[in-house]
Amino acid sequence: MIVFGSYVTNEPEPNDVDVILVMGDSFRLEGCPPESRGLFDHAIAQARYGASIFWVRPQLILGESLDSFVAHWQLKRDGSLRGIVEVVI
């Protein structure tokens, strides 16, 4: 799980949390309990939890390593770096 955005800065009251869930290559959404599937739907997660949640399986990252993929998410539009934290479970 990668957590980034204002949540990992010194901002006193971040207004949301941004997360990338890095799932195993064998992960299939259909195998999840129905009550957890909203975590894998960006619009539902935003409305229900106030979180911008994205997810990926490493095999779907074509032409780049997982580290490169994560480094891309660390870049802001202006080219500066945003705070990013990797949580390994």
pLDDT along the chain (89 residues), means of 10: 77 80 91 93 91 86 78 85 81
Instruction: Provide the pLDDT for residue 6.
Output: 72
Cα separations (Å) of 56 from 60, 64, 70, 80? 7, 13, 11, 24
Give the predicted TM-score (pTM) of the model: 0.76
Instruction: Provide the pLDDT for residue 44.
Output: 94
- Phi first, then psi, for residue 3 (nearest 5°) are -110, 130
